[in-house]
Amino acid sequence: MGPVRAINLNGFGGPEVMEWSGAPDPAPGHGEVLIDVAAAGVNRADLLQRRGFYAPPPGTTSVPGLECSGVIAAVGEGVREWSVGDRVCALLSGGGYAEQVVVPAGQVLPVPDGLDLAAAAGLPEVAATVWSNLVMTAGLHSGQLLLIHGGGSGIGTHAIQVAVQLGARVAVTAGSAAKLARCAELGANVLINYREHDFVDLVRAEQGLGGPGADIILDNMGAAYLGRNVAALALDGQIVVIGMQGGVSAELNLGELMGKRGTVRAIKLRDRPATGRGSKADIIAEVRAHVWPLLEAGAIVPVIHAEVPVTEAGRAHELLDEHETFGKVILRIGNDGTS
């Protein structure tokens, strides 16, 4: 193998700042594995990083990419659970848009039976985000009403399926009838076109376990939706903020929130520690135990909108911003491990 190549950022700005060029050869340290990357998932955080609004954690590579799949090329000292040649996918703090990446062994998952490497590349970030926020934090369970903003996103399409498997009812917002129809195919019950209707009115017309409204709201908008999310809550409801597409600062009516006995949580996955309490390793272990069997049984399926060569990473980023995109966009980087 020649010198490693990666997507390097030549400044901050539009897709044109991404450059496929040389990068330092990574080597696994204690407790780490080296992956020959086959594919990487594209996430909205990558777009924010490219624009200069989402810096990697200290000590993390500036190469974008929060998840990947591939084949283990080397294992560091102290690694027992993985071997060279294993087909895996991994949750990363960065570095997925590259031919090779080093990752702590506790953030690695086997490729689910029946899936190819490209599809597996889009799983770790969404699965870890959804399970850690909806189940480990908010305690989603059977009979509850879950509202998902952005039902057609990678997070949304996965969250719908997880919630259905847990026995929850699911309401989603999306910007077109076509997207809502596809959300319904995945199991969503309440379909809200945010361009035509106020989601507060439609969600309050539904019954959560705490009364009218949503028991849990998974929100990717942040400030723009904060007040309306509180209005849409059932008693004892929870708002879990995982994105800030609608801004970072908003006024909160504490009286209304107290009247609902409500909770607002804002949670970031990327900065969690690799090990210890609340770590990425803990989340990955939970995902492997609870989500992976559902993937292998076909009860949950990856939803892939497009696969794009890494040399066209700019086009992949543009796709994520297009209204027609439904599910994940995947960057094809290396060998798929089948030859």
The first and second tokens of residue 316, run together, are 């992949």
Among 1-5, 53-57, 150-154, the least confident range: 1-5
pLDDT, position 334? 85
Of 304, 291, 257, nearest to 119 by C-alpha is 304
- Give 15's DSSP letter: G
Burial 130-152 (b: 16+ CB within 10 A, else e): bbbbbbbbbebeeebbbbbbbbb
- Give 131's DSSP letter: I
pLDDT, position 247? 85
Among 153-162, 284-293, 306-315, 316-325, the least confident range: 316-325
pLDDT, position 245? 87
Confidence of residue 259 (pLDDT cuts 50, 70, 90): very high
CB 316 within 8 A of CB 44: no
Confidence of residue 244 (pLDDT cuts 50, 70, 90): confident
- 249: three-class secondary structure by DSSP: coil
Overall average pLDDT of the 35-43 stretch: 98
Q: Rounded to 5, what percent of the chain is helix, strand, coil?
A: 30, 25, 40
Confidence of residue 335 (pLDDT cuts 50, 70, 90): low
Sign of CA dihedral 141, 142, 144, 148: positive
Q: How far, in Å, CA of 165 to CA of 161, rounded? A: 6
Element (H, E) at 307: strand 304-309
Overall average pLDDT of the 303-317 stretch: 97
DSSP per position, 156-213: HHHHHHHHHHTT-EEEEEESSHHHHHHHHHHT-SEEEETTTS-HHHHHHTSEETTEES
Report the 3 state secondary structure along 137-170.
Answer: HCCCCCCCEEEEECCCCHHHHHHHHHHHHCCCEE
